[in-house]
């Protein structure tokens, strides 16, 4: 054998000496067209070869039609015939998910192979170009187990994010967000620049969440930002413009002619023609098309620019970025402007590694009221204003007719004359020092000091001529300004020891952490804005007689967590892996006897594909089984002093006093979520098919509920740890590279989650009713609880209801309420496909959820015949009028009952969340200076399939109050440029 090999080598070297030529080319990343340095290029079967330079260029000597192998870690190898030319450009595909992927828990970083946790990793670059102000919305449909509901399309508004079902009924269900080791507040995301983000790591099971102890129960989203690499300085510029508009409205209202007809000809308890129109007036009003919607809304624009530089050498690496984002709101006067800057530096000196992250985000945004039933909200006005009342009079002044007819102010006037604005300054900084102890191999220490600082300032002016202005104290408008500051620092210090002894590898880290948050707020509202100034200068000083006494508010609260914890991993042959965490948290928020709680988790995994019996398998390339169990808790309930009996300030007859504001809760403790997780990660056919299937069961014990107490105590509920809640589910994720050739790639992928939420125990009682929802043992938390509507009796026009035992009755009785569904969707997910042909890529992302119900309060307000002075639903044209009328709308003489299934709708939907068409110009087209050029057009929320009667079925709470600001339909065009 040896001999033979020698002969071949000799032969080939002889051939080489025959007709050798130089082949050159550029290797690029197929996804973004950026050059790939460090790619090994070799003649197939031979050792040696060349490496691409920082610009991705290579040059190799070949003979004839040679077979070339291109390879680099993290990308699929490419074997290709050289042909006879002198240039050959190659684009390489990143290897889709496999066990080499790096996942980050915040306290440690591992490859997926080594981790026993259930973690989804999403690349920031995959989602960053969606035209959305708040980054968490971009993750919708991207990962199993995480439900993201963007209730609002308001620029910069945050979505509701739920990981593996709501584990709490009263407490927060928001996950914990960690940005480069620093806890950040979910409500400030409009000031974070999504383009800075390298990865999102979603920690779902106890292996990950127990590391966060009393904060981890709702899952953790660990975000890392981009950092420089040891390479030539890269400059990237991204620009994007777009337009957005309201989605289709499915709640149809009466036109002018229909409304006038309804007023004049429908028999009502108050008689007909409530406004006493003369026939001439009625006739002319019927022809008016007021179109308030067009006056209040616009096609809004979005523009964003982002510039970044990254690079470094072997000692110092840097990433610097700046961005501008400007998104108009759909409602005139609203919008978000944001400017951000980031500097990340890593520096190594000797045994030290120092990391500095600094981020500044500044945003200015103007919102409008939403999800309320306030008559001053423009989004309600488009429903309630009479269709024959134009926003302006012919002379250009505001038309106040609706204020007179029905007390509905002119929404346009309220909006334009009452400007408000919010400013937010966000600073996130972290300094880390890593130290490797010389002399003791594997021993290191680390300190990370992080600060999350948010300053909000909002200003609101109410003009005295407006409805809202006239309602201010003193009736002459107001100006208010509020400033809040939220300052949280996190100091984490750890000592780690990692060693490998033959096939045994272990790693243990001991941590100490303090997280301290201080919040303070100051605000004032002054009255009597009668002069020329529309700001603080216009406030009339208050006297005892003029009524313009200003309101001044001030708050300050503080909380802290002190923790000690240990995280350990052990693996044998890199195949059998064990991990464990123990964390003890002390919290300032609990009563003295209850301050300390211990959490923990253990996990194990087995990389089956590394076993001999699979190592030669053609089918299975990766296979890993994992299991974990552990606990973590939820802090998001009550205020910072919830356990203490608190008295707040009040005044009577000019004298200050105290009133009880919070009941003492000496036994209060955290609600603890214990999660079991079992799963399999797999890769088939050289990872052309990858995926995972996981099963989880999480029980929340000590569930926070409002224990009902006798109202004769002056309170009828008290927050108590009294229940038990279960979330059990299955998650499936699958990716399939259908085609992968040099010029054409086609990927499809999808994920699906089923989460079953069930109350296991309530303290002593079997159920706990809260308005339209109920918590009952054996059912989903927050189940829809209403009386079943049985239509209308054609003979009398009376509404019919079902009693509890299914008989029809005309008598509405709250005791006949039954559970008719759940507000939280049990089934949800997303699927996507992308096709790339010679740099032209089309990708589609769909999201869906089903199995839930929505209570449509928007309809209640336009189907209640009492509001006949406002505009009404078109459906009321079919209102029962005469015996024999067969309709679903009862007689206006019948008592209107809103809490019935009449207003409960199916919440299922499928949405084309994002579609992107892009073209990446081959590297080198514009010379070596420009390394990547990509154009794209994308559509956001272009199509939604749903039967919900409103703008949008995505309603996080399941109850739409009114004034819906839906997720917008948007189209943007953009350019990415790499230098």
Query: Judged by CB, which is closer to another protein: 824, or 879?
Result: 879
Beta bridge partners of 282: none
**Alpha-carbon gap, residue 459 to 482, rounded angstroms:** 7
Q: Are 405 and 275 in contact (CB under 8 A)?
A: yes
Query: Judged by CB, which is closer to another protein: 162, or 587?
Result: 587
Query: Judged by CB, which is closer to another protein: 280, or 741?
Result: 280
Alpha-carbon torsion 798, 802, 808, 812, what sign?
negative
- Give me the least distance between CB of 518 and another protein, in Å please: 10
**Alpha-carbon gap, residue 597 to 419, rounded angstroms:** 48
DSSP run (H or E) holding 499:
strand 478-501
Chain mean position to CA 841: 26
Listed residue (331, 328, 311) closest to 319, CA to CA: 311
Q: Are 454 and 424 in contact (CB under 8 A)?
A: yes
Q: Are 156 and 457 in contact (CB under 8 A)?
A: no
Could you give phi then psi for residue 805, rounded to 5 degrees? -95, 20
Query: Judged by CB, which is closer to another protein: 455, or 639?
Result: 639
- Give me the least distance between CB of 596 and another protein, in Å please: 9
**Alpha-carbon gap, residue 237 to 307, rounded angstroms:** 5
- What residues have CB less than 8 Å from 626, skipping those under 6 apart? 116, 117, 118, 603, 604, 605, 606, 677, 678, 679, 680, 681
- Give me the least distance between CB of 865 and another protein, in Å please: 10
- Give me the least distance between CB of 164 and another protein, in Å please: 29
- Give me the least distance between CB of 653 and another protein, in Å please: 4
Tell me how crowded residue 92 is: count the other CB atoms within 10 A of its CB: 21
- Give me the least distance between CB of 663 and another protein, in Å please: 6
**Alpha-carbon gap, residue 401 to 407, rounded angstroms:** 9
Query: Judged by CB, which is closer to another protein: 503, or 660?
Result: 660
Which of helix, strand or coil describes residue 677? strand
**Alpha-carbon gap, residue 164 to 189, rounded angstroms:** 22
CA distances from 379 to 95, 273, 374, 474 (A): 47, 27, 9, 27
Burial class for 845, CB neighbours closer than 10 Å (0-12, 13-18, 19+):
buried
Query: Judged by CB, which is closer to another protein: 153, or 890?
Result: 890
Query: Judged by CB, which is closer to another protein: 124, or 474?
Result: 474
- Give me the least distance between CB of 474 and another protein, in Å please: 6
**Alpha-carbon gap, residue 930 to 924, rounded angstroms:** 7
- Give me the least distance between CB of 554 and another protein, in Å please: 7
Query: Judged by CB, which is closer to another protein: 202, or 719?
Result: 719
- Give me the least distance between CB of 646 and another protein, in Å please: 4
Which of helix, strand or coil describes residue 580? strand
Q: Are 649 and 656 in contact (CB under 8 A)?
A: yes
Instruction: State the DSSP code for 686.
Output: T
- Give me the least distance between CB of 590 and another protein, in Å please: 9
Instruction: State the DSSP code for 950.
Output: S
Listed residue (362, 361, 104, 344) closest to 226, CA to CA: 344
Which of helix, strand or coil describes residue 294? helix
CA distances from 584 to 565, 566, 632 (A): 6, 9, 11
Query: Judged by CB, which is closer to another protein: 59, or 557?
Result: 557
**Alpha-carbon gap, residue 882 to 101, rounded angstroms:** 70
- Give me the least distance between CB of 651 and another protein, in Å please: 7
- Give me the least distance between CB of 520 and another protein, in Å please: 9
Query: Judged by CB, which is closer to another protein: 94, or 866?
Result: 866
Query: Judged by CB, which is closer to another protein: 17, or 653?
Result: 653
* CA-based radius of gyration for the chain: 32
Q: Are 158 and 148 in contact (CB under 8 A)?
A: no
Angle at 456 between CA 454 and CA 460, to 5 degrees: 175
Angle at 607 between CA 605 and CA 608, to 5 degrees: 120
**Category of 544 on φ-ψ map: left (φ > 0), alpha (ψ -120 to 50) or beta:** alpha
- Give me the least distance between CB of 724 and another protein, in Å please: 20
- What residues have CB less than 8 Å from 881, skipping those under 6 apart? 266, 267, 797, 891
- Give me the least distance between CB of 116 and another protein, in Å please: 28
Query: Judged by CB, which is closer to another protein: 334, or 634?
Result: 634
Query: Judged by CB, which is closer to another protein: 70, or 489?
Result: 489
Query: Judged by CB, which is closer to another protein: 32, or 639?
Result: 639
Query: Judged by CB, which is closer to another protein: 455, or 640?
Result: 640
Which of helix, strand or coil describes residue 359? strand
Place of tokens 């616009």: 298
Query: Judged by CB, which is closer to another protein: 366, or 371?
Result: 371
- What residues have CB less than 8 Å from 478, skipping those under 6 apart? 460, 461, 462, 469, 472, 525, 526, 527, 529
Query: Judged by CB, which is closer to another protein: 435, or 754?
Result: 435
- Give me the least distance between CB of 802 and another protein, in Å please: 17
- Give me the least distance between CB of 814 and another protein, in Å please: 4
- Give me the least distance between CB of 548 and another protein, in Å please: 8
Burial class for 713, CB neighbours closer than 10 Å (0-12, 13-18, 19+):
exposed
Q: Are 756 and 826 in contact (CB under 8 A)?
A: yes
Which of helix, strand or coil describes residue 860? helix
- Give me the least distance between CB of 472 and another protein, in Å please: 9
Query: Judged by CB, which is closer to another protein: 586, or 922?
Result: 586
């Amino acid at each position: 054998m040896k001999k033979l090999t020698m002969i071949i080598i000799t032969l080939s070297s002889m051939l080489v000496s025959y007709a050798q030529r130089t082949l050159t080319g550029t290797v690029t990343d197929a996804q973004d067209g950026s050059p790939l340095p460090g790619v090994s290029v070799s003649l197939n079967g031979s050792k040696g070869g060349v490496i691409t330079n920082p610009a991705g260029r290579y040059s190799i000597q070949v003979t004839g039609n040679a077979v070339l192998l291109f390879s680099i870690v993290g990308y699929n190898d490419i074997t290709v015939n050289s042909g006879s030319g002198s240039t050959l450009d190659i684009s390489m595909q990143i290897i889709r998910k496999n066990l080499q992927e790096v996942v980050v828990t915040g306290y440690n970083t591992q490859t997926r192979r080594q981790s026993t946790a259930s973690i989804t990793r999403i690349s920031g670059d995959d989602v960053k170009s969606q035209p959305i102000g708040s980054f968490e919305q971009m993750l919708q449909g991207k990962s199993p187990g995480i439900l993201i509901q963007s209730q609002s399309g308001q620029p910069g508004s945050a979505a509701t994010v739920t990981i593996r079902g709501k584990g709490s009924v009263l407490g927060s269900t928001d996950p914990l967000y960690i940005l480069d080791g620093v806890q950040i507040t979910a409500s400030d995301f409009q000031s974070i620049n999504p383009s800075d983000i390298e990865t999102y790591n979603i920690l779902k099971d106890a292996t990950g969440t127990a590391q966060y102890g009393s904060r981890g129960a709702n899952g953790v989203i660990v975000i890392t930002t981009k950092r420089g690499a040891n390479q030539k300085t890269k400059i990237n510029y991204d620009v994007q413009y777009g337009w957005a508009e309201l989605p289709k409205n499915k709640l149809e209202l009466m036109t002018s002619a229909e409304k006038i007809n309804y007023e004049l000809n429908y028999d009502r308890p108050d008689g007909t023609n409530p406004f006493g129109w003369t026939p001439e007036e009625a006739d002319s009003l019927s022809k008016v098309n007021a179109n308030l919607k067009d006056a209040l809304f616009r096609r809004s624009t979005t523009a964003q620019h982002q510039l970044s530089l990254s690079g470094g050498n072997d000692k110092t690496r840097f990433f610097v970025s700046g961005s501008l984002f400007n998104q108009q709101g759909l409602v005139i006067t609203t919008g978000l402007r944001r400017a951000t800057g980031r500097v990340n530096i890593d520096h190594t000196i000797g045994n030290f590694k120092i990391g500095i992250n600094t981020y500044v985000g500044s945003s200015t945004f103007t919102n409008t009221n939403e999800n309320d039933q306030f008559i001053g909200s423009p989004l309600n006005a488009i429903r309630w204003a009479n269709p024959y009342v134009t926003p302006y009079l012919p002379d250009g002044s505001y038309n106040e007719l609706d204020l007179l007819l029905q007390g509905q102010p002119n929404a346009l006037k309220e909006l334009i004359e009452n400007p408000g604005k919010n400013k937010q300054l966000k600073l996130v900084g972290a300094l880390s020092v890593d130290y490797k102890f010389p002399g003791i191999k594997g021993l290191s220490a680390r300190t990370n000091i992080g600060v999350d600082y948010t300053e909000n300032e909002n200003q609101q002016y109410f003009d005295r001529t407006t409805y809202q202005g006239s309602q201010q104290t003193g009736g002459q408008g107001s100006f208010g300004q509020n400033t809040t500051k939220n300052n949280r620092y996190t100091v984490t210090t750890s000592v780690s020891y990692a060693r490998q002894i033959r096939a045994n590898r272990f790693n243990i880290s001991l941590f100490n952490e303090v997280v301290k948050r201080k919040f303070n707020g100051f605000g004032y509202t002054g009255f009597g804005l009668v002069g020329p100034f529309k700001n603080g200068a216009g406030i009339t000083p208050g006297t005892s007689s003029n009524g313009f006494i200003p309101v001044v508010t001030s708050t300050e609260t503080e909380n802290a967590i002190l923790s000690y914890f240990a995280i350990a991993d052990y693996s044998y042959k890199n195949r059998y892996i064990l991990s464990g965490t123990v964390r003890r948290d002390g919290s300032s928020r609990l009563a003295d006897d209850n301050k300390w709680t211990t959490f923990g988790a253990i996990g194990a995994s087995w990389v089956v594909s590394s076993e001999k019996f699979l190592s030669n398998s053609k089918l299975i390339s990766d296979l890993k089984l994992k299991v974990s169990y552990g606990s973590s808790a939820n802090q998001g309930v009550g205020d910072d002093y919830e356990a203490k009996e608190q008295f707040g300030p009040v005044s009577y007859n000019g004298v200050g006093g105290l009133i009880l504001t919070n009941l003492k809760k000496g036994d209060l403790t955290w609600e603890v979520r214990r999660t079991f997780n079992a799963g399999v990660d797999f890769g088939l056919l050289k990872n052309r098919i990858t995926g995972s299937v996981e099963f989880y069961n999480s029980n929340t014990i000590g569930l926070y509920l409002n224990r009902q107490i006798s109202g004769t105590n002056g309170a009828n509920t008290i927050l108590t740890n009294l229940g038990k809640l279960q979330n059990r589910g299955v998650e499936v994720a699958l990716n399939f590279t259908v085609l992968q050739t040099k010029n054409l790639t086609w990927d499809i992928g999808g994920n699906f989650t089923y989460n079953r939420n069930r109350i296991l125990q309530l303290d002593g009682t079997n159920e706990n009713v809260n308005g339209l929802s109920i918590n009952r043992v054996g059912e989903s938390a927050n189940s829809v609880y209403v009386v079943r509507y049985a239509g209308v009796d054609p003979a009398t026009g009376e509404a019919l209801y079902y009693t509890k035992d299914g008989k029809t009755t005309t008598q509405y009785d709250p005791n006949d309420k039954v559970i008719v569904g759940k507000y939280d969707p049990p089934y949800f997910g997303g699927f996507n496909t992308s096709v790339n042909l010679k740099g032209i890529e089309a990708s589609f992302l769909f999201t869906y959820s089903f199995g839930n119900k929505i209570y449509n309060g928007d309809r209640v307000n336009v189907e209640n015949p009492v509001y006949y002075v406002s505009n009404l639903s078109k459906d009321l044209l079919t209102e029962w009028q005469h015996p024999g009328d067969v309709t679903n709308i009862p007689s206006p003489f019948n008592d209107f009952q809103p809490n019935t299934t009449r207003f409960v709708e199916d919440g299922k939907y499928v949405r084309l969340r994002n579609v992107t068409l892009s073209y990446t110009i081959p590297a080198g087209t514009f010379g070596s200076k420009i390394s990547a050029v990509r154009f794209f057009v994308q559509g956001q929320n272009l199509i939604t399939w749903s039967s919900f009667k409103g703008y949008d079925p995505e309603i996080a709470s399941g109850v739409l109050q009114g004034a819906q600001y839906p997720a917008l339909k948007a189209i943007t065009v953009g350019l990415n440029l790499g230098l």
